[in-house]
Chains A and B, each alone.
Chain A
């Protein structure tokens, strides 16, 4: 007998398939953009902006060495003083969402809070990717 002690929450957080009546509704794991650029606290904002733009992004997620989300640079922050450090420019501690959250749920949150984008993380805070408002059907 084995005990999968972290349970179905861990399974869904990893984006693995489930069965059941709610299994067919789209979840963040289905729409999250895993190619979002990342940066660290000590980088120059100008360097990060250039790198993000070259990859076709106007956002960047600030992560630790262990890929834990520390902050977010949305378009407005990326337009700041290029010599500023990411640490000073970022929005610290953004709300994050787990991959199994239904898309419709995050759509409502992003609409209510007028969010451009939201990081998706594992339960221990590691970055999975970024969901932009267009990814959840918002303009």
Chain B
């Protein structure tokens, strides 16, 4: 279960080397994304997460908005 965090906490985790994961479709990711974010679209996240994420570092996921 992911813990909900706000922008300040995202910045703090980024500074600590967290992995930032954009779960939006690739086209939207190409247009803009958080600095250093990798793209794991929702429908591919389970397969991709194990392959590309470092389990020893925090992971922050985000999408477009609260909706």
Contacts and interface: CB of A to CB of B under 8 A. Distances in A.
Interface of A: 1-12, 14, 16-23
B46 interface: no
Contacts of A2: 2-5, 9-10, 13, 18, 58-61
Interface residues of B, number: 31
B7 to A, nearest CB: 6
A6 B29 contact: no
B7 A6 contact: yes
Given A18-B32, A18-B35, A20-B29, A7 B64 contact: yes
A7 B37 CA distance: 12
B34 interface: yes
Contacts of B43: none
A61 B63 CA distance: 33
5 contacts: A2-B60, A7-B64, A7-B65, A10-B66, A19-B32
Contacts of A20: 29-33
A20 B62 CA distance: 16
Contacts of B5: 2-5
A139 B64 CA distance: 35
